[in-house]
């Protein structure tokens, strides 16, 4: 059984290295993830976050985003076991494929669009297939959770969602404020995801999903990706563990079913990791623990990769 991870910041970490080191295929012990460890963990589908900081907004952010995408594109030219997913057809044979990795580009925070809808088409032509509308700050689309406001989507934000639906792109509501969350849910004609968050009922972090939000994700036929950030898992201790991730999986499965939960590790985007999930090679431990707890093979398959595949196959053209 292979793994799909719907959020990791590995490309932005690679962009900080020297030119000759900018390759996913190169073992990189300073980071949480690289291709050799992905292969060891049977991680076959990775959604790569294209992330820029607020101070990199606008045209500089657009350049940085394209540079991150180029890292994976360059690896594609050097190896024949990598795939860039740009259509539903690219995922058709993934279960039986001998390819090492299928990569999907997802922009985290849409500031690099520069408030220009034409830029969405530019990035689409470069392979972008998902967008997290905001990060924690305010941008041209909406407010992130770091901004205390009750404002929903801007006119540009509504235009972006409508154009994403038309192009066949996945709308990701991680980081957006609650008003923007509910307006996006109502506006989008396609399933909506939250790529990396957990259950607010178990940990009150602002980035986690309330029961009402979890129910809405289920009703929209989307999913929420379990995030490994310790502060999202257990607010009572400084160091979380694999068992905390299991607690959130149990809760969300009980609430909305195994058909609406996935993995969204946030590897290489978090400062510390839960005990037992120190890097990408640890993913199989989660599936082993779910087996020990009596999760059915179908439930484990849903969580491991099935829900991510279902959603992307449904939305991508």
Q: What is the mean pLDDT of residues 226-231?
A: 97
If pLDDT is split at 50, 70 and 90, which confidence band does 239 have? confident
Give the span between the Cα atoms of 63 and 56, in whole angstroms: 9
**Please, what is the end-to-end C-alpha distance for the chain in angstroms?**
26
Does pLDDT of 159 surpass 90?
yes
Give tens-digit pLDDT for 32-50.
Answer: 999 999 999 999 999 999 9
Give the CATH number, domain containing residue 300: 3.20.20.140
- pTM, to two decimals: 0.98
Query: How many structural domains compose the chain?
Result: 1
Does pLDDT of 212 surpass 80?
yes
Does pLDDT of 308 surpass 80?
yes
Residue among 205, 156, 151, 217 nearest 178 (CA): 151
Give the domain range for residue 199: 3-315
Q: What is the mean pLDDT of residues 249-275?
A: 98
On whether the CB atoms of residues 248 and 199 are closer than 8 A, the answer is: yes
Rounded (10°) CA dihedral 158, 159, 164, 166: 120
Give the span between the Cα atoms of 29 and 261, in whole angstroms: 29
Share of the chain above pLDDT 90, in %: 96
Tokens 């009150």 belong to 204
- Mean pLDDT value across the chain: 97
Does pLDDT of 238 surpass 80?
no
């Amino acid at each position: 059984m292979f793994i799909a991870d719907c959020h990791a910041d590995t490309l932005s970490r690679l962009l900080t290295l020297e030119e000759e080191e900018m390759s996913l295929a190169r073992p990189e012990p300073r980071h949480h993830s690289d291709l050799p460890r992905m292969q060891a963990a049977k991680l076959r589908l990775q959604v790569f976050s294209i992330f820029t900081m607020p101070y990199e907004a606008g045209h500089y952010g657009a350049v940085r985003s394209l540079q991150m995408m180029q890292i994976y594109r360059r690896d594609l030219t050097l190896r024949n076991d990598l795939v860039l997913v740009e259509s539903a057809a690219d995922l058709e044979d993934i279960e039986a494929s001998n390819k090492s990795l299928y990569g999907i580009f997802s922009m985290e925070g849409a500031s690099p669009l520069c408030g220009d809808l034409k830029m969405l088409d530019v990035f689409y032509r470069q392979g972008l297939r998902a967008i997290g509308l905001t990060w924690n700050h305010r941008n041209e689309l909406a407010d992130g959770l770091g901004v205390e406001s009750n404002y929903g989507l801007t006119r540009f934000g509504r235009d972006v969602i409508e154009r994403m639906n038309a192009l066949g792109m996945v709308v990701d509501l991680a980081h957006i404020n609650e008003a923007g969350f509910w307006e996006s849910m109502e506006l989008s004609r396609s399933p909506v995801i939250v790529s990396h968050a957990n259950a607010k009922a178990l940990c009150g972090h602002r980035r986690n999903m309330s029961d009402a939000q979890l129910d809405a994700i289920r009703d929209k036929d989307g999913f929420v990706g379990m995030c490994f950030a310790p502060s999202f898992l257990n607010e009572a201790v400084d160091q979380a563990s694999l068992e905390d991730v299991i607690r959130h999986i149990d809760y969300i499965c009980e609430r909305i079913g195994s058909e609406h939960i996935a993995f969204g590790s946030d590897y290489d985007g978090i400062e510390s990791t839960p005990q037992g999930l120190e890097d990408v090679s640890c993913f199989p431990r989660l599936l082993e623990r779910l087996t020990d707890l009596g999760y059915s093979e179908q439930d484990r398959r849903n969580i491991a990769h099935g829900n991510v595949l279902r959603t992307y196959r449904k939305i991508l053209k």
